[in-house]
Amino acid sequence: MPQRRTVTLTEEQRQQLLHHRDHDPRPDLRERCAAVLKVADGQSPYAVARRGLLRPRDPDTLYHWLAYLAAEGVAGLLGHRHGGVRRRCL
């Protein structure tokens, strides 16, 4: 039987995630922080990805977010954003 993936946050990490979830102007970062907080509170990553966010996500996406958090902390979670090169209008 596969073991459920869990996240243990320090109080400082939890406070940073709460702040970004509630106040960051970038919606993708608010979503990431909300997802990680739900997993840290005991929900399964699969359930959060499928039913716990505004839009259903691929569970692998959430597992990548958790890997960024484990490897680099909150800064890694906030730093690995998706999307292409932003074009500047001249």
Q: Which pLDDT band, with edges at 50, 70 and 90, does 89 fall under? A: low
Yes or no: say if 88 and 30 are a contact pair by the CB < 8 Å rule.
no
Q: What is the largest CA-CA distance in the chain?
A: 56
Per domain, the residue ranges of the chain are 11-79
Which pLDDT score, from 0 to 100, does residue 84 have? 54
Q: What is the pLDDT of residue 5?
A: 77
Q: Is the model's pLDDT at 9 over the cut of 80?
A: yes
Residue of 39, 26, 27 whose CA lies nearest to 65:
39
pLDDT for 3 beyond 90? no
- Report pLDDT digits (tens) over 40-80: 999 999 999 999 999 999 999 999 999 999 999 999 888 88
